[in-house]
Amino acid sequence: MEKLIVHGNAKLSGTVNISGSKNAALPILAATLLTREKCVIRRVPDVSDTNYMLQILQNLGAEVERASGTVTVKAETLNGAEAPYDLVRKMRASICVMGPLLARMKESIVSLPGGCVIGDRPVDLHLRGLEGLGATSKVEGGNMILSSPKGLRGQEIDLRGKHGTTVLGTDNVMMAAVLAKGTTIIEGAACEPEVVDLAQFLNKMGAKIQGAGTSHIEITGVKELGGVEHTVIPDRIEAGTFLIAGALAAGKSGITLRRVEPDHLTAVIEVLKSCGYPVERQGKTLTIGRASRPIGANITAEPYPHFPTDMQAQMCALFATTPGLSVVKDTIFPQRFMHCSEMKRMGADISVDDGTAVIRGVDRLSAAPVMASDLRASAALLLAALTAKGNTEIHRVYHIDRGYENIDDKLIGLGAEIERVQA
Ligand code: EPZ
């Protein structure tokens, strides 16, 4: 097991290249199961989550090759429709193979993903959608077993849940519907850019999808799909994470992010500007500098295009040393505040109750051994450590490596002092 030792004297400058989006790559890799032909996907980040997905595809019988950021998948013949427990338990997002397996094999056997530290991770909306297309489902031995021996039929489906839309649920229904007989309408679809990227990939394959990016998506089923080439969109959450690194620790000249899609980050950029940070956009680059007088904010994490839940932990790290009071509410994952207890070990003044963190900024945090708990909480601890007094040790670094490609090397490239050592 590795740990990071982060020296709290960071003065960041220079530029960083943002990787392709993990959350766009995962469903797109799953969608390669929908054709026997070869698919070439570029800018797939080399992180453990995408590597788990490649293992699942191989386990199902697909030929998989990875050459740095380019992945080639050819699912000419599949040897079954089961995503094994030992892989699914490592990565909840594996459930996005359900839709393509059901469409291709007329069945899918995927283990129930179980919960995780950010909260309960139900799958009722996924099942509502896929049953709506004519599949039957049962839970047996910890597996969700879906079958549709007569194939799937288009249907009008409402995917809204009590916490709003479901990103992977929308992906699963879309991937099942592209080969169904007739037209499917998804009401209450997720609007995230990663859903749009998947729809673009499927349409390149020959699917007929309209309305991706809105809450109303129409899919006209087709007979078959072909192999394609595709480049994954930039990772908006990695970009947002580096914007906050810049807000916390940029020197006079600020830092520049390259290969980003600023349009995917408007809610985050607006909040940072409202807190006093100069954020400039030039095409596909963003720069951020220090704020002369930073102020806090009151933010609520909601479905896209609002402030993303995957960025709220990182904002807590910024607010921990922002003068005054800030409030962070998460309507999507109300329990997603594990990072706050670790930041309090570093001296942060945060109280969490009922899905809301109230943060009173302190002058400076101080180093302490802290424990990473989930992907974005770990990134938040790394950010907090950049300017904390002393050297902070962050344990269980594997959480960060699930979704950030070489984040320590990228921060070192900007001037941070970080060592990765065996714990
Ligand atoms: C995706 O997860 C992302 N993961 C998550 O990012 C992200 O936090 C989440 O969307 C919300 O934006 C990937 O794209 C791989 P949801 P997903 O279904 O699709 C409830 C990261 O850090 N819900 O949109 O699994 C659910 O409990 C990860 O990169 C149901 O009630 O999330 C939550 O409250 C973490 N029933 C809300 O909907 C269901 O069947 C949104 O969940 C499904 C979800």
The 10s digit of each residue's pLDDT in 327-359 is 999 999 999 999 999 999 999 999 999 999 999
The DSSP bridge pattern shows strands 2-7 and 12-17 to be unpaired
- For the annotated catalytic residues, the residue numbers are 116
Residue nearest to atom 25 of ligand 1 (CA): 168
What's the pLDDT score for residue 226? Answer: 98
* pLDDT band of 114, cuts 50, 70, 90: low
How far is the centre of ligand 1, averaged over its atoms, from the C-alpha of 251 (Å)?
36
Retrieve residue 402's tokens.
């699930």
Give the contacts of 286 (CB within 8 A, at least 6 positions apart): 239, 243, 256, 257, 260, 262, 265, 269, 279, 280
Last residue of a domain, one of 231, 264, 288: 231
Same-domain pairing of 380 and 323: yes
Residues 137, 243: one domain?
Answer: no
User: Are residues 218 and 269 part of one domain?
Assistant: no
Which residue puts its alpha carbon closest to atom 44 of ligand 1?
A: 166
Four-residue CA torsion sign, 132, 136, 140, 143: negative
pLDDT at residue 116 tops 90? no
pTM: 0.98
**Lowest mean pLDDT segment, chosen from 33-42, 156-165, 257-266, 344-353:** 156-165
> What average pLDDT does the chain have?
96
Mean pLDDT, residues 390-415: 96
Percent of the chain topping pLDDT 70? 99
Output the CA 8–ligand 1 centroid distance in Å. Answer: 33
Contacts of 126 (CB under 8 A, 6+ apart): 95, 98, 166, 168, 169, 172, 173
Which domain-ending residue is among 231, 247, 271?
231
111 and 35, same structural domain?
yes
Q: Which residue, 231, 258, 274, sits at the end of a domain? A: 231
Do 247 and 182 have their domain in common? Answer: no
Sheet harboring 349-353: ordered strands across? 298-301, 325-330, 356-360, 349-353
Sheet containing 107-111: order of strands = 82-83, 107-111, 143-147, 136-140
Q: Looking at the structure, do residues 150 and 267 belong to the same domain, yes or no?
A: no
Q: How confident is the model at residue 118 (pLDDT cuts 50, 70, 90)?
A: confident
Q: CA–CA separation, 214 vs 223, rounded Å?
A: 25
Residues with C-beta less than 6 Å from any ligand 1 atom: 23, 26, 93, 120-126, 161, 163, 166-169, 190, 194, 309-310, 332-333, 375-376, 403
Same domain, 297 and 415: yes
Position in ligand 1 atom list of the atom nearest CA 375:
22
Residues 248 and 361 in one domain: yes
Residue 318 has pLDDT above 90, yes or no: yes
CATH number at residue 170: 3.65.10.10
Is the pLDDT at 193 greater than 90, yes or no?
A: yes
> Measured from the CA of 26, which atom of ligand 1 is nearest?
15
Residue 270 belongs to what domain range? 2-19+234-422
Residues 266 and 221 in one domain: no
Q: Is the pLDDT of residue 372 over 80?
A: yes
When pLDDT is cut at 50, 70 and 90, the band that residue 113 belongs to is: confident
Q: Looking at ligand 1, which residue's alpha carbon is closest to its atom 13?
A: 23
CA 409 – ligand 1 centroid, Å: 28
Check whether residue 46 and residue 162 sit in a common domain.
yes
Q: Rounded to the nearest whole angstrom, what is the distance from the C-alpha of residue 386 to the centroid of ligand 1? A: 29
What pLDDT score was predicted for residue 405? 97
Atom of ligand 1 nearest to the CA of 93: 15
Is residue 71 domain-shared with residue 187, that is, in the same domain? yes
**CA-CA distance, 269 to 29, in Å (whole number)?**
29
- pLDDT at residue 115, as a whole number: 59
In this predicted model, what pLDDT tens digit does every residue of 249-289 receive, in sequence order? 999 999 999 999 999 999 999 999 999 999 999 999 999 99
Q: How many CB atoms lie within 10 A of CB 263?
A: 11
Give the pLDDT confidence score for residue 117 in this predicted structure: 75
User: What would the mean pLDDT of 64-92 be, rounded to a whole number?
Assistant: 92
* Total number of domains in the chain: 2
Same domain as 11, residue 32: no
pLDDT digits (tens, 9 = 90+) for 48-66: 999 999 999 999 999 999 9
